[in-house]
Structure 1
Amino acid sequence: MAYQLIYHEFMQIPPVTRAYVTSCVLTTLAVQLDIVTPYQLYFNPELIFKNFQLWRLITNFCYFGPIGFNFLFNMLFTYRYCRFLEEGSFRGKTADFFFMFIFGGLLLTIIGFFVSTIFLGNALTIMFVYVWGRRNPLIRMNFFGLMNFQAPYLPWVLCGFSLLLGGSTTVDLMGIAVGHIYYYLEDVFPKQPGGFRTLKTPKFIEWLFETRETNEFENIVHEERPGGWQWDGQN
């Protein structure tokens, strides 16, 4: 019974959020159990393109450090704002949300060639936070009971918090920059005089998610059909 409840709650998480957060958790567990090491996961252009270790283009987004407070904090933010976006402004537009993932990951990877950073997952999370904040400007936030502010300022508050803790703000600023680029191209520029939408989700991605969602819907309908009733209009 407990298993069914957990499984039900897990499946209630939107698909892209579910897949990404699960990947992050499984990657961290694999490192914790010594199945892999962070040295096999981090972003390294030379190893990627000279040694063809292409998996690093993905795994560097899935590792947030060893299990501890920082990991739990980062996972909470990633899950929370990724889900907020997918269930909010991207509701019914799973393909567009997945394309946002690809767009953000691609830009962060390009920036990663010029910045000395080895894991980009935190930058991707800040991108989610930035886009969500700009699309929900009237929401009031409270940061650990210390200060109140509007949602668009949350990425900058997190950046300042990192600075106060003595950490680097490079990753935060990368996420803010990419988030702003996405927000401008998707939400601002198309509304300008002569503007148009530049970020169009490729047809094959739309087809992929439409097929998947149709199959899931058909499975749900099949499971929920009452026994003894023919759905062709006959008893």
Structure 2
Amino acid sequence: MPIKTLQIPTPDGRADAFAAFPDHRERHPGVLMYADGFGIRPVLREMARELAGHGYYVLVPNPFYRHGPAPVIDLPEHIGEEVRPALMAQVMPLIEKHTAERVLSDADAYLRFLTTQPEVGAGPVAVTGYCIGGLLATRTAAAHPGRVAAVAAFHGPVGADGPDALAGITAQVHFGHAESDLTPQTLGELNRALDAAGVRYTSEIYPGTIHGFTMADTDAFDAAGLQRHWDRLLPLLDRTLAGS
């Protein structure tokens, strides 16, 4: 599965990115994948390759490109609990500076770039994200109704913008929550907000998981949770992008 290194033009410069896609001369449905807060690294390339192997063109941008190319901070091969606090102290200022205005400006640029690649077919795209990337994916879908056919977010703070922010979503949605991230009561409140917004969705807590469970290079990794994530994500994309 080839990996192509890319530069995406944005109003604030050029975002470094990579794309994974099947190695044959056809067009494929496009998927915009947002990384977690630790950004582009080998585990994201592995996940993008896995998704591309199911017939998708997967674009993964560096959301913190304004601060330098990925990896923006030095990362160990494995992000254990002993190093996580120090890494988060470096990551959180980047997240705080990535305002909603920047997110939406970048989303416009990313989608424009994705949909004009020669390997990407016509039609709507999907957006997926992990951790803070789940919130970026949700914001992208809400800002681009009709253009984004599916959005999936995993262990992400998807309700952080409040219930009104969900109203613009016309995409089909899957939210996969870590058990440590929200209570059943909070899940019920989120799901009621999705119902009120008329969103077609599934939203569930993945049993036995903690925040970051999809990331195989962290202590939070849960193999069953990652497989459940694929079991939810792939059918969602198949339903919504099959004609693209």
- Pick the TM interval, shorter chain: under 0.3
More strand by share: 2
TM-score with structure 1 setting the length: 0.27
TM-score with structure 2 setting the length: 0.27
